[in-house]
Amino acid sequence: DTEVTQTPKHLVMGMTNKKSLKCEQHMGHRAMYWYKQKAKKPPELMFVYSYEKLSINESVPSRFSPECPNSSLLNLHLHALQPEDSALYLCASSRIAGNEQFFGPGTRLTVL
């Protein structure tokens, strides 16, 4: 298995909702990442997990809460989001932090 999967593909949520994004890889990678990408812009790093521990948080608002239950899974819990949080959320993984990253197809999030 050489891919990163993300669910759901699309998500529409209200500002008071709680939802979660899920990312999975079975390549034995020990680093996993969350990115946010706005239209016509490059991805912006949000979080990095290395060996299931949070190693980088790019000053992301607390309404985004990452979780790494095991080495194959990465979740992003969403609560009380704002319309400006609407974006494509990309998950990536790499063998270890610093190696080439492999990206999932993303979750298109719309906050109403």
Partner 1 sequence: AQSVTQLGSHVSVSEGALVLLRCNYSSSVPPYLFWYVQYPNQGLQLLLKYTSAATLVKGINGFEAEFKKSETSFHLTKPSAHMSDAAEYFCAVSPTDSWGKLQFGAGTQVVVTP
Among 7, 55, 57, 82, binds partner 1 (CB under 8 A): 55
Q: Which residues pair with 85 in a beta bridge?
A: none
- Contact segment (CB under 8 A) with partner 1 among 12-20, 48-56, 59-67, 70-78 equals 48-56
In angstroms, give the least distance from the CB of 31 to partner 1.
Answer: 6
Q: Which residue ranges make up the site for partner 1 (CB under 8 A)?
A: 4, 6, 31, 33, 40-43, 45, 48, 50, 55-56, 90, 92, 94, 96-98, 100-106, 108
